[in-house]
Chain A
Amino acid sequence: MLLLIGVLTLTACTEEFLETKPTQSISAADALASEQNLTLVLNGLHRQLIDTSPLSGSTARGGEHYWIPMDDMVTGSLIHSARGNGWFRSALQWLRHTIETSGDTGQLWYERYHFIATSNAIINQIAELGLPLTPEINNILGQAYAYRAWAYHKLITHYAKGYIIGNPSSDPGVPLLTSTEAPYTSAPRSSVEEIYTQIEADINQAITYFQNASGPSTKADLTLNAAYGIKSRVALSKGDWATAASAAVLARDGYGLMNQSQWLSGFNSVSLPEVIWGGNVIETETVYYASYFYYMCPTFNGSQNRGNPKLIDKRMYDRIPATDFRINMALPNAPNSNSAASNDQGGSAANDPNYDNQADFLAAKAAIVAQYGMTSRHNTHPYMHVKFLQKQPGTIAPDDIIFMRSAEMYLNEIEAKIMLNDLDGARTVLQTFGSSRDTAFDASVFTTKEQLLDQLKFQRYIELYGEGFSYTDHIRWDQGIDLAGSGASEVLYQDGFFQAKPSVNDGWIWKIPQAEIDANPNISPADQN
C-alpha cells in the first residue's frame, strides 16, 4: 500500500527524471525545423568534404583530402617515387578499389551516400513544411540538389562501367534513393542510365533554384557557377558534348584565369581567383596527417613526403614548352637523394645519372630545400612536382583544398567542342586558355581532331595534375595504364603499372562494398562488379 502511494506520487517527477537529452547533438526534428538550421546542416556537409569522417563506422579518411589524390594515384598520374610510409601504396598497386572489403571501397560509397541522404532529408523536409521559396530557401534547395547530383555522379563514375564505353541502359549502376526511411532496405542497383537521368534532373533543379537564390557566404557553398560546373562534368562523362560545353561556359562566368604568380603560388588557397568551389581548412579543424597536402605536397613535414616525393609523368612534363610557366611545376633535375627510391637510382651522386659528383648533388638538393622551404630531412627526386606548396612550407599547418576552378571549365569546353567536331571553336578556347599559361602558345598548329585531342589531354594532365580528374578522364577516354617511361617503377607499381583500357577491363569498376552486399537485401554477391 505504502509502495502504491509512493508509486503514484513519484510517477510524475519520475517521468521528468527519466527524460534526458544529449549535449553533443540536437534532435533531428530540431535540426530540420528552420531555415537557419538547414543552413547549418549544409555547413556540416561542407565540412565533411574536408574532415576525417565523423560518421560512425567510418575509416580514417579525410574526405576530399583523400579522394582527390587517390583518383590521380590509382592511374599513375600522380606518381610515387618510393615505397614511402605506405599511404596509397596498395591503391596504386590496384589492391584497394578492386577489393570489396577495403576501406577505400567502403568509405567512398558511404560518404557519398551520406551526402545523398542528408540532401534528401533537406529536400523532403522543405517540401513537407511547405516553406515559401525565399532566396534563402532557394539557396538551401539549390545546394541540396547540387550535392545530390554531385554525389550520385561520383558514385556512378566509380562503381559502374563508364557511360560512354558501356551500355548505360543495361549496365548496373548504384542504388537510387531519394529518401531514407524505415525499413531501410535501400534499393537494388538501378541502371547507369537511370542514375544519370536522376543526376541531370537534380542538377537542372539546382540551377533553377540558384537562379533566384541568395548569395553564397563562402567558397565552401555550392553556387550557380558550381552547379553549372557539375552539370558540365556530368555531361562530359556521358558524352553530351553540347551541354558539357555550354554549362562549362556558364560555370566559369565571373572567374578569370590565373596569372603566373597565382598559378605558381601552390594551389593552397580557395581565395585564388579561379576557384569556384573549395574547402577552407583552418587551424582548429586540421586533419593533420590525413590531409591532401600531407599526401602530396613536397614540402609538408611528414614522413609520407620526406621519403616519397610525388612525381609528374616525365613523358608529359617533357612536352611542356620552355615558354609555358607551368614548366616550373616540377623539377626534372632534382637530385635523387632517397636511397630507397624505387628506381634504384637514389642516395648519392654515385647512383644518380644526373650528377657526376657528390658536391653538386648535395648543393642541388640544398638549393631546392632552400627555395621551397623544405627541411633537410626531405628527399628530392627527378621530376618531383612543386605544383602544390604550403602557405607555411616545412610545417604541418593546414591548407585549403580546391574542388573546382575555371581552368577545368575551359578544358571541358575545349574537349566537348572537339568531340562535337567544332574544331575552330575548340581552337579558339584553347588559344585563350593556352596563352594564359604560355606566352608563345599557338593553337592553330593543331589542325586535326586527333592533334587537338592529344593537345587537350596534355593540357588537362598538366593543368589539373593532382586535382583528382585522372581516374574519370581515363574512363571517358577509354585509356588504359602503361607507365613505361613515365618515371614510375614497376617494382613499386606492380599491377598498377599496366592496365588494359576500361572498355575491356572491368578492374576499373570499383567493387561494391561488402558491407552493402551484406546488409542490402536487394543486392546479392552475384550482383558484385
Chain B
Amino acid sequence: MKNKLLFYITSLMLMVFNLSLAQLTIKGTVSDDEGIPLPGATVVVQNTSNGVSTDFDGLYTITANTGDVLVFSFVGYTDQTVTVGSSDQIDIVLTSAGALEEVIVTSFGTSTKESFTGSADVVTAEDLELRIATSPIAALEGSTSGVQFLAATGQPGASPSIVIRGVGTLNGSNTPLYVLDGVQFEGDLASLNQDDIESLTVLKDAASTALYGARAANGVVMITTKQGAKNTPMRVNFSVQSGISNDALGQYSAANPQQYYEIMWEAYKNTLSGTPAENAAEASSSIFNRLGYNPFNVPNDQIVDTNGNINPNAQVIYEGLDWFDALQRTGIRNNYNLNVSTGSDKSQIFFSASYLDETGYTIETDFERITTRLNTTLTPKSWLTLGANVSLTLAESAGAQSGGTSSIVNPFAFAKNIGSIYPVTLVDDTGSQILDAAGNVIYDDGEGNSAFGIQARPYSLGRNAVAEAYYNNLINRNNNIGARFFGEFTVIPGLKVKLTYGQDIQDSISNRYENAEIGDGAPTARFRETRFRRVVENFSQVINYKKSLSDVHNFNLTLGHESFDRNFSNMSGFKNTQTATGIYEFDNFSVISSLSGYSSDKRTEGFFGRLNYDFNEKYFISASARRDGSSVFNKDVRWGNFYSVGASWLIHKEGFMDSVSFVDNLKLRASYGEVGNDSLGNFYISQPLYALYSNAGAPALYWDKLGNNALTWETIESFDLALEFTLLNRFLDGSLEYYKKTSSDLLYNLPIAPSNGLKQKPDNVGTLFNSGLELELTGHLFDSQDFSWDLSLQASTFKNEITELPTPFTSGSKRWDVGRSVFDYYIYDWAGVDPANGNSLYYMYEDNADGDQRIPVLAADGSHQTTNDYQEAGRAYTGDSSIPDFIGSIQNSLRYKNLSLNVLITFSQGGKILDGGYSAMMHPGTYGRSIHTDALNSWKQPGDITSIPRLESGNPNQSVGSSTRFLTDASFVSLRNLNLSYDLTDVIGKQLAIDNLRLFVSGENLFINSAREGLNPQYNLGGTPAGNNYNPARTISAGLNLTF
C-alpha cells in the first residue's frame, strides 16, 4: 500500500514540476531474504513504461533519471521502491509477502488481507493443485470455514454445492453468487478448467459482498482465472493426471437370499388370519408364490420351514443376483492440461487448453470436456489498458439416471431396492444365465418365465434398470462460451474508469432415447431432444479514485453502474415409434408426442459506490451502498437499497504493542451491512398468470400462478466481528470470527390450503437468523530446509432460528415456527415396540387449547400415551434438527526434502438425518423389495424385547419413514483428500532446463465414517437422503506437472 501511495504522490509531483533530470544507467541484483537471486523479477521506473526484468542470476540493468522511483517486484514478494540518487548500483532484497499480504479479490477491485475490513477465505492455485476434482468448487471443502458442503454425486462432471454461513432463505435458492472474472457466472461449474483458476475467494460478510447488493444474500464466490505476469519469460506448463474411481460410500446392508426368504416368510405369515400353526404352514407352502423366484436348489414349498428357518440345504444357484455388480465398473479419469503464459511491460498473455475424459464407476455414465482460454491484457498507452478473456468449453456427458432419482429408470434406486433373490438376467432351471443366439445375456424384465418356473417379479414388473441403462441413450452436449472485455482509462493520476462487458453463452443439446424393448419407451421407442441457450450479459462502468492526504489519510472511492440480463430460450420435442434402430434423430420417429418452447428473461440494474479510508494504514474504514432494481418484482416495489460499513484496526502497529514480542500481527475487524435477495425460483413469480395450454389441439389456458404484486426484496442484515492474529514469530496464525446474519421479509412460496385451488403464494414472510463462530488456526510446526510441517484446523458452528413468522407452516419433515430452526424435525414420535404383540407404537400428541402447539396426550397414570395408529398419534417437534453442532477440517502439510504429503480430514459433529435410504429398507415386508439385515431382529413372539416391530406385509403402521425411529446421527469423519508428491526439479529438471517437475498421487473421498454404511451424510441440508442417488466417487489419481 505504501509504495502505491508513493507512486501517486510522486506522479503528482512529476506532473506539477515537470522536472527534467540527468540520466543514469543503474545495475544491481534482486534477491530474496536468504540471499538467493530472483530471476524474472521486474524493475520499473514508476509511472513510465520503462521496465526490465532480472536475468537468471537476478541481475538487471536499467536507465533512469535522478529522482526517479524504481519499483522492484516479484510474484509472492512485497514490492520495494527506491528513489534514484547518485549511485548506479542498487541491490535489492525482497521479502516474502507472507500470509498477511495475500491479495484478496473483492467486489469490483482487490485488497490485501491486511487492509481488508470484510470476511473472506481464499483458495489459491497451489491449494487447487492438490485436489483432483472436475469441479474446482470441490477444493473449497476443508479450506474455508463457515461453508457447508453437499457432496457431488458420482456422475462424472457433477459439481458439489455449497452453502455459506447457513441457510438464510426459506425456499429461495441457497446457491451463492459466482462471479467469474468480475461477471456473474450462471454456467456449470464443472465447465471450468481447474488449472485455469488463479484463486477462489469466498466473500462471507456484508462488508465484502454489499457491492453485489441484490445478489449477495447467499455470499459470493469470486473466481479469478490466471493471466500472464508482467515481465516474465514465456513459460509452458503441462500436467497430466490419470485416475480410477469407485463408490465412496458403499451400500446399505441388504439381507442375502436366505435371510430374505426368512424375513419375508415372517412378514407373510403375519398377514394370515388362521391359527399360528395354519399360518406357518401356509406361509411355508406359498411364500414362493408371493415372491415369485426361487434362487435355491430346493423345491418351492420347502424353502422356509414352519419355524421360519431357511432350509439348511438351500444353496443359492441363481447367477447374477448382485445388481450393483452389474451396474458398476472401475471408473477411469484422464486429464491433460497445457498452458502458456508470458508478459512484458505492456502485455500479458495466458493461454490454456485441456482435455478431460472421465468414465464413471456406473455403466453408461461418462463425461468428456475440452476447454481453452485466452486471456490477454494490453497496455498500449500509459493511460489505457485493454483486456480480453475468452474461453470455450465443449462438454459431452452421458448419464444413466435419465429420469431423476424418483424415476423407475434410476438404476441406483432400482438396484438398492430390489430383493436379493432377483437376478439381473434370465436364468434357467439350474440358475445359469440364459444366453441368446449371439451369446449375450438376456435381461430379465420380471414378467415371468414359466418355462423355468419363474413367476412375475413383484418388484418393478416389466422393468430392468441395467438393461434400460444399456439400451437407452442419454447424451448431453454443452458448449460454453465465455467472454470478458474491459477497457481501463486513467483520466488523471489516481482516477480510473473501467468498463467491463461480459457475456456467457451456454448452448445445450440433450438427447434422450428410450428403447423399444423394455421400459417407458416400449414398445415403440421414443426420443426427446431438448435444446436451450442461455445468454448472460453483464455490463459495468466503474470509476475509481485514489487519493492520499498528508501521507496518512488514504482514500479510495469507487462509483459504478452495472446491468445484468439473463435470457434463456428452450425448445423440446418428443416423438415416438422408431423406424430404424440406432438412429437417434427426429427423422427416425414417426409420431409427434409434444413440441414445446419458451424463453425467459431476468434483468437487474444497480448503482453503487464505496469509500475506503485508512489512517496511516492502521485504522481502516470502508463504507458502501448499492441501489438495485430487479425485473422479478413489480415496478412499484422493484428497487432496493443495500449498504455496508466495515472497520479494522491493526493493533500490532500501535506503539504499545512494541513490547509484546510474541505478537507478530493482530487485527480486529467488524462489519455490518445489508444485502438482498430476489430469487424465488421463477423470474415471473410476482405476476398472476394463466399458462398457455391446449385441449385436443385447440388453444386453452389454465390458472397457474397466484402472483403477488407486493412481493419485494428479502433483506439480509449481517454483522461480523473477527480477530486475526499471527503469533510467536509466525509459528501460529489464525482467526476467530463471529457472525450473525438476519434475514427478514423472507421470500417464500407460502403453502396455502390446496382448497384455494393453487398450493402456493409467493410472499415475504418472517425473519430468521443464522449465527456462528468460525475458528481457523494454522501452526507452522516445523520449517527447516529439509523438513516442514504445517497443521491447519478449521471449525465452524451453526445456529439457525426463526424469530418471526405470522403462522407456523409445515414443509415435508420440518415445521417452521418462531423459536425453531428451519431444520427442526416435525415428524411422528416413535415409542418403540410393544413386547406383547410387536406393534410399532407412537407417542400421541394433540393441539393445545390455543391450537398453536402440540402437546402430549397423557394416559390416566400420567405417562405419555401411545398408539399403533400413527395418524392418530399425530406429529410433533421431536427436539432434533439436521443442523450440525459444528463442522470442520484438519489439514496436514508435510514436506521432507522433495517429498510432500498433504492430508485433509473433514468432519461434522451433531445433527440428525432422517435416513430415507434406511427406512425404505425397513418396510414391514413388501414383497420384492430389498430389506435391511436389521429386520432379522424383528419381533417374533410375545415377550420379545426388540427395536424392530413385527413384520407384516402391507401394514402401514409398522414402519413410518417420517418418524423418529429413522433419525440417525449425522456426524461423520472423512478422509477427504490425500496428496503425495515428489519434486524432481532438483534431481533431473535443471539438467533438462525444466523449471519444475513434480510427480504426485492424489486420492479424493478416500474414507468416510458415518453412523450407517451406505448413508451419505452430505446429501442435503434438510437431512433427508433417500439413498437412491449416484453415490459420490472415490478417485485415486497419479500424475505429473511439468514447467519449462
Residue from B450, B565, B755 in contact with A109 in the complex, judged by beta carbons closer than 8 Å: B755
Instruction: Determine whether A250 belongs to the interface, using a CB cutoff of 8 Å to chain B.
Output: no
Instruction: Determine whether A450 belongs to the interface, using a CB cutoff of 8 Å to chain B.
Output: no
Instruction: Determine whether A302 belongs to the interface, using a CB cutoff of 8 Å to chain B.
Output: yes
Residues of A with C-beta under 8 A to B694: 43, 47, 285
Residues of B with C-beta under 8 A to A114: 703, 757-758
Let me know if B523 and A117 touch, CB within 8 A.
no
Let me know if A283 and B455 touch, CB within 8 A.
no
Q: A20-B631, A395-B523, A524-B851 are in contact. Are A41 and B690 (CB under 8 A)?
A: yes
Let me know if A289 and B520 touch, CB within 8 A.
yes
Residue from B292, B602, B638, B692 in contact with A340 in the complex, judged by beta carbons closer than 8 Å: B292
Which A residue sits closest to B461, measured CB to CB?
Answer: A85
Instruction: Determine whether A131 belongs to the interface, using a CB cutoff of 8 Å to chain B.
Output: no
Residue from B592, B599, B630, B699 in contact with A284 in the complex, judged by beta carbons closer than 8 Å: B592
Instruction: Determine whether A23 belongs to the interface, using a CB cutoff of 8 Å to chain B.
Output: yes
Nearest-neighbour CB distance to chain A for B495, whole angstroms, equals 11
- Of A52-60, A200-208, A235-243, the segment with at least 4 beta carbons within 8 Å of chain B is A52-60
Let me know if B455 and A347 touch, CB within 8 A.
yes
Let me know if A175 and B753 touch, CB within 8 A.
yes
Instruction: Determine whether B607 belongs to the interface, using a CB cutoff of 8 Å to chain A.
Output: yes
Interface residues of B in 955-980 (CB under 8 A from A): 956, 962
Residues of B with C-beta under 8 A to A286: 593
Instruction: Determine whether B524 belongs to the interface, using a CB cutoff of 8 Å to chain A.
Output: yes
Residues of B with C-beta under 8 A to A27: 687-690
Let me know if A520 and B753 touch, CB within 8 A.
yes
Q: A43-B698, A100-B871, A340-B458 are in contact. Are A28 and B751 (CB under 8 A)?
A: no
Let me know if B696 and A285 touch, CB within 8 A.
yes
Looking at B563, B751, B752, B760, the one whose CB has the most chain A CB atoms below 10 A away is: B752
CA distance A377 to B462 in the complex (A): 10
Interface residues of A in 28-50 (CB under 8 A from B): 28-32, 37, 40-41, 43-48
CA distance A100 to B700 in the complex (A): 33
Interface residues of B in 588-630 (CB under 8 A from A): 591-595, 598-605, 607, 609, 629-630
Nearest-neighbour CB distance to chain A for B521, whole angstroms, equals 10
Residues of B with C-beta under 8 A to A338: 448, 456
Residues of B with C-beta under 8 A to A18: 603-605, 629-631, 635, 638
Let me know if B871 and A99 touch, CB within 8 A.
yes
Instruction: Determine whether A130 belongs to the interface, using a CB cutoff of 8 Å to chain B.
Output: no
Which A residue sits closest to B456, measured CB to CB?
Answer: A340
Instruction: Determine whether B108 belongs to the interface, using a CB cutoff of 8 Å to chain A.
Output: no
CA distance A117 to B759 in the complex (A): 12
Let me know if B755 and A22 touch, CB within 8 A.
no
CA distance A101 to B761 in the complex (A): 21
Q: A46-B695, A118-B757 are in contact. Are A525 and B700 (CB under 8 A)?
A: no
Residues of B with C-beta under 8 A to A431: none
Interface residues of A in 423-446 (CB under 8 A from B): none
Q: A44-B695, A82-B456, A491-B290 are in contact. Are A28 and B688 (CB under 8 A)?
A: yes
Let me know if B460 and A85 touch, CB within 8 A.
yes
CA distance A57 to B706 in the complex (A): 13
Let me know if B522 and A301 touch, CB within 8 A.
yes
CA distance A396 to B519 in the complex (A): 13
Let me know if A117 and B756 touch, CB within 8 A.
yes
Instruction: Determine whether A526 belongs to the interface, using a CB cutoff of 8 Å to chain B.
Output: yes
CA distance A278 to B58 in the complex (A): 90
Let me know if B286 and A518 touch, CB within 8 A.
no
- Of A9-17, A67-75, A314-322, A459-467, the segment with at least 4 beta carbons within 8 Å of chain B is A9-17
Nearest-neighbour CB distance to chain B for A234, whole angstroms, equals 20
Instruction: Determine whether B60 belongs to the interface, using a CB cutoff of 8 Å to chain A.
Output: no
Residue from B454, B458, B594, B703 in contact with A118 in the complex, judged by beta carbons closer than 8 Å: B703
Which A residue sits closest to B806, measured CB to CB?
Answer: A183
CA distance A279 to B851 in the complex (A): 44
Residues of B with C-beta under 8 A to A14: 605, 629
Q: A10-B561, A339-B455 are in contact. Are A24 and B593 (CB under 8 A)?
A: no
Let me know if B602 and A43 touch, CB within 8 A.
no
Instruction: Determine whether B701 belongs to the interface, using a CB cutoff of 8 Å to chain A.
Output: yes
Nearest-neighbour CB distance to chain A for B422, whole angstroms, equals 13
CA distance A218 to B594 in the complex (A): 22
Residue count of chain B within 8 Å CB distance of chain A: 98
Residues of B with C-beta under 8 A to A106: 754
Instruction: Determine whether A216 belongs to the interface, using a CB cutoff of 8 Å to chain B.
Output: no
Which B residue sits closest to A495, measured CB to CB?
Answer: B954
Interface residues of A in 343-357 (CB under 8 A from B): 344, 347-348
Looking at B755, B756, B962, the one whose CB has the most chain A CB atoms below 10 A away is: B755
Instruction: Determine whether B296 belongs to the interface, using a CB cutoff of 8 Å to chain A.
Output: no
Nearest-neighbour CB distance to chain A for B999, whole angstroms, equals 53
Residues of A with C-beta under 8 A to B458: 83, 340
B785-818 vs A, CB cutoff 8 Å, 1 = contact: the mask equals 0000000000000000000000101100000000
Instruction: Determine whether B707 belongs to the interface, using a CB cutoff of 8 Å to chain A.
Output: yes
Residues of A with C-beta under 8 A to B513: none
Residues of A in contact with B, size category: 35 or more
Which A residue sits closest to B520, measured CB to CB?
Answer: A289
Nearest-neighbour CB distance to chain B for A105, whole angstroms, equals 11
Residue from B460, B559, B704 in contact with A54 in the complex, judged by beta carbons closer than 8 Å: B704
Instruction: Determine whether A521 belongs to the interface, using a CB cutoff of 8 Å to chain B.
Output: yes
Instruction: Determine whether A128 belongs to the interface, using a CB cutoff of 8 Å to chain B.
Output: no
Which B residue sits closest to A109, measured CB to CB?
Answer: B754
CA distance A175 to B706 in the complex (A): 20
B899-932 vs A, CB cutoff 8 Å, 1 = contact: the mask equals 0000000000000000000000000000110000
Nearest-neighbour CB distance to chain B for A359, whole angstroms, equals 15
Which A residue sits closest to B956, measured CB to CB?
Answer: A95
Q: A110-B759, A186-B756, A284-B594 are in contact. Are A26 and B292 (CB under 8 A)?
A: no
B675-709 vs A, CB cutoff 8 Å, 1 = contact: the mask equals 00000000110011111111111111111111100
CA distance A118 to B592 in the complex (A): 30
Which B residue sits closest to A526, measured CB to CB?
Answer: B847
B522-552 vs A, CB cutoff 8 Å, 1 = contact: the mask equals 1110000000000000000001000000000
Which B residue sits closest to A101, measured CB to CB?
Answer: B962
Nearest-neighbour CB distance to chain B for A509, whole angstroms, equals 13
Nearest-neighbour CB distance to chain B for A295, whole angstroms, equals 14
Instruction: Determine whether A504 belongs to the interface, using a CB cutoff of 8 Å to chain B.
Output: no
CA distance A25 to B706 in the complex (A): 12
Let me know if A520 and B691 touch, CB within 8 A.
no
Let me know if B450 and A347 touch, CB within 8 A.
yes
Residues of B with C-beta under 8 A to A511: 871
Let me know if A54 and B702 touch, CB within 8 A.
yes
Instruction: Determine whether B874 belongs to the interface, using a CB cutoff of 8 Å to chain A.
Output: yes
Which A residue sits closest to B591, measured CB to CB?
Answer: A283
Let me know if A54 and B691 touch, CB within 8 A.
yes
Instruction: Determine whether A142 belongs to the interface, using a CB cutoff of 8 Å to chain B.
Output: no
Residues of B with C-beta under 8 A to A301: 522-523
Instruction: Determine whether B1034 belongs to the interface, using a CB cutoff of 8 Å to chain A.
Output: no
Residue from A17, A83, A187 in contact with B456 in the complex, judged by beta carbons closer than 8 Å: A83
CA distance A20 to B524 in the complex (A): 41
Question: What are 30 residue pairs bridging A and B, where the CB atoms are less than 8 Å apart in the complex?
Answer: A6-B561, A10-B561, A15-B629, A18-B638, A19-B631, A20-B602, A21-B687, A23-B598, A24-B692, A31-B703, A56-B758, A82-B456, A83-B927, A99-B956, A109-B755, A114-B703, A114-B757, A116-B757, A184-B752, A185-B753, A279-B696, A283-B592, A283-B593, A285-B696, A303-B445, A337-B450, A338-B456, A339-B292, A494-B954, A524-B851
Q: Given A20-B603, A22-B600, A344-B286, 20 other A-B contacts at CB below 8 A? A: A10-B561, A15-B629, A21-B687, A26-B692, A27-B690, A32-B690, A40-B700, A44-B700, A44-B703, A47-B696, A90-B954, A117-B756, A117-B757, A283-B592, A285-B594, A301-B523, A307-B462, A339-B448, A394-B523, A519-B752
Closest 4 pairs (CB-CB, A-B): A117-B757, A303-B462, A340-B456, A43-B700
Please report B residues at the A interface, Cβ cutoff 8 Å: 271, 286, 289-290, 292, 445, 447-450, 453-458, 460-463, 520, 522-524, 543, 559, 561, 563, 565, 576, 591-595, 598-605, 607, 609, 629-631, 635, 638, 683-684, 687-707, 751-761, 807, 809-810, 846-847, 851, 871, 874, 927-928, 953-954, 956, 962
